[in-house]
Amino acid sequence: MELILASTSPYRKKLLDTRGIPFKAIAPLCNEDDLKDPLLDAIALTQKLAKAKAESLKESFPNAYIIGSDQVLNFNSKIFGKPKTKKQALSQLLELQNHTHELVTSLYVHAPHHQWLHTERVSLTMHPWTSSELEAYIEADLPLDCAGSYKLEQKGLILFKEIHAQDYESIIGLPLLKLFSILKEAGFSFFK
């Protein structure tokens, strides 16, 4: 069974690499920006994008299991994407500090005769921080490629006082517990 990760994310790739799962990472053949609809809520948006990423490769890999995933940060019904600059990152963190927000991560697996869709929601509460503390954090982690402007796998974890997650890896961008359950159900051999 060929496993394809429809992603250019180094974080998602690393999650599978560190578990020794054989796969190929292939850039999806869809433009995410064209698919984003401001009228969709966080769950509908991540599900749409995860599905589009996986299905964009199904003709190129007709017999493969193709994994698509997408993540956004939801705060008071406002969706945060990846900041493009340090100034935008600071603005996001200042808005999130001392509040609770949600990371929404959707997983879509396309197989020749079956498809699976799953969404994880993680609640995170940030400590209060000063602007200068957050600027120092941004310099330390450079979280410009992460929704919400933090990297929990690095120093970003320090920013938080509470995290409630069923699958911690979904915070990094791929709900591994659900993915592995899907692959097990499909007959994938993990221990060759």
Query: Which fold does the domain 3-185 belong to in CATH?
Result: Maf protein (3.90.950)
What pLDDT score was predicted for residue 173? 92
Q: How many CB atoms lie within 10 A of CB 127?
A: 12
pLDDT digits (tens, 9 = 90+) for 5-59: 999 999 999 999 999 999 999 999 998 888 989 899 999 999 999 999 999 999 9
How is the chain split into domains, by residue range?
3-185
Q: What is the pTM of this model?
A: 0.93
Q: Which residues are catalytic?
A: 70
Instruction: Kindly list the averaged pLDDT for each block of 10 residues, start to end, along the chain of length 192.
Output: 94 94 95 89 96 98 96 94 95 98 97 96 98 98 94 96 96 95 90 76
Asked if 104 and 43 count as a contact pair (C-beta separation under 8 A), the reply is yes
| 115-121 contacts at long range (C-beta below 8 A, 24 or more positions apart) | 116/182, 117/47, 117/50, 117/51, 118/175, 118/178, 118/182, 119/43, 119/46, 119/47, 120/165, 120/166, 120/167, 120/170, 120/175, 120/178, 121/43
What pLDDT score was predicted for residue 163? 97
